[in-house]
Structure 1
Amino acid sequence: MFGLFKRSAHPTLDKALLNQLYRYALSLCHDESQAHDLVQYSCEKVLTAKVEPTQIKPYMMKVIRHAFIDQYRRKQFELVKDDSEILETIEKESDVLKSLEDIAIDEQHVDWILSRVTPHERELLYLWAVEGMSVQEIAEMTDTPKGTLLSRLNRLRKRITTEFNHLQDQEAQQ
């Protein structure tokens, strides 16, 4: 009789959770098939885990993040940065007073801007701006000090503002 009230052997993965995980994975890698693979990998980890995690969503997001970082590190061995790219990045960091909330960015420019930031910056931007997580929550999830995240967020704001203003100037000249 008590077998009827037994907890299920596997956690429930509803469509809303899978969609959130997919959006998170896509924000990291910007590749639909890789995002699907990351979500599938995290589902496999949860379903084959010997002990069910107490909070499924944060656990799965951490699995996705670590899997992406592993893939990214493997690709880094293949990629070589050019000195001109480094100089370009340094030039773009200037003092700007506007914040991200003050910038009206249309959909056409979002992909262009997101392609110009690193995967770690994309993750931070996604969790903060899209998911609405606080810096403290992001710090706990990514095992990164809060001050480091605040510094990265500030540099990211400045860089995006500068690049977006540069993009608007180019369009105005055309």
Structure 2
Amino acid sequence: MSTIEFNQMLVSNAEFLKPFAITLTRDTEAAKDLFQETLFRALANKDKYNVGTNIKAWLYTIMRNIFINNYRRKAKQNTIFDSTPNDFLLNHNQAVTANEAESTLRLKDIQHAIHNLPEIFRNPFLLYFDGFKYHEIAEMLDEPLGTIKSRIHFARKLLKTQMHRF
């Protein structure tokens, strides 16, 4: 396929991309940028287009991949854009100071709540908390698997209600 034929086919199918770009971005300016980027990438990679395949599907795939890559890139940056006239860039990763005393008290409350569980729930829960699998706990305690699962479930529910009190 010649370059002229490819360009004509691209131009004749490009209009179908605009509504898709608006659907993805929900912003007309961002949609225009996405549309332009898609056409640029299609022209840059015209040698990768297989003659006879659906060009609309090929263009939609390019656009979707560009949108996903841009979204992931923005999520990694984790920045907030302020739309004030000066367009300040605020860094979201601000330092947070941990309060060791508060976390120690909370841990003591959790340990106390676990200690106050009835033994029938406490033992399977502690084994599960230590990293054992359900079937391993069932073998250790010589109980059916379903019984172990329900005891751990009820232990969680009891802990949840006890922790809401604190």
* TM tier relative to shorter chain: 0.3 to 0.5
Q: How high is the TM-score relative to the length of structure 1?
A: 0.37
